[in-house]
Structure 1
Amino acid sequence: MTDTSKQKAPVVSATKGFSNTTSKPRHSTKSSATEAQYRRIIEALRIGPKTSHDLRVLGAYHPAGRVKELNDKFGFVIDSDRVSLWDAWGFEHRNCARYHLLREPDNADALLGLARA
């Protein structure tokens, strides 16, 4: 007779911010890991302001939450204003956030696991 009792799934420890201590990224460009989303958001904002729609297209699934974490936990200063925009299919999105990177912590590249050119 086989044991039909349910077994608990293995416990996954919570990510404590950027735990990548090497210069080589741990996640692929298509990764949905929180650290990979942080990296994509900062790389995009270094180029210029981006809307929450832009960041979702880049794979940040909850841009407001990721931006808040970057501000509160890691010392980035990212401001936002509100805009209306139309997507590629002609749908209007009112009151969409547009994010601006104002300041980065001194150790931003180390936090992100990036080598800055």
Structure 2
Amino acid sequence: MENIAVSTIDMDAILAQREEATGSADTFSFTFKGQEWVCQDPITASDEWKDGLLDLDNDIEVAEYYLGEDQYAKFVKAGGRAGYVILAINQYMQQMRQENEEGRPTRRRTSSAKRRKR
């Protein structure tokens, strides 16, 4: 049996790379009605924040928890719904799974055409 060297995972580097690529190691954003909305990242959120999810009873409470009360009120005023926040969270998690499978710890660029032109 052959010994395969396993490298140490440098979480400081991963978090720094995420922060550089996305602007934050602890949040993610999505756009709706031409505005950017910032959610807590469920992957890197604190354990205390994650424990708070256990006390929530419905999608509205979950959406408000992810966005924060003030931002959620503005989101609803802009025409948003709790379900849209849940969809954004699901899309984000799916994107993160794909990027992890492809070996990228950060988000890919929004336009693949830009990469091809270079």
Q: Which has the higher helix share?
A: 2
Pairwise same-fold verdict (TM > 0.5): no
TM-score for the superposition, normalised by structure 2: 0.26
Higher RCO, Cα 8 Å, sep 6+:
1
TM-score, length of structure 1 as denominator length: 0.26
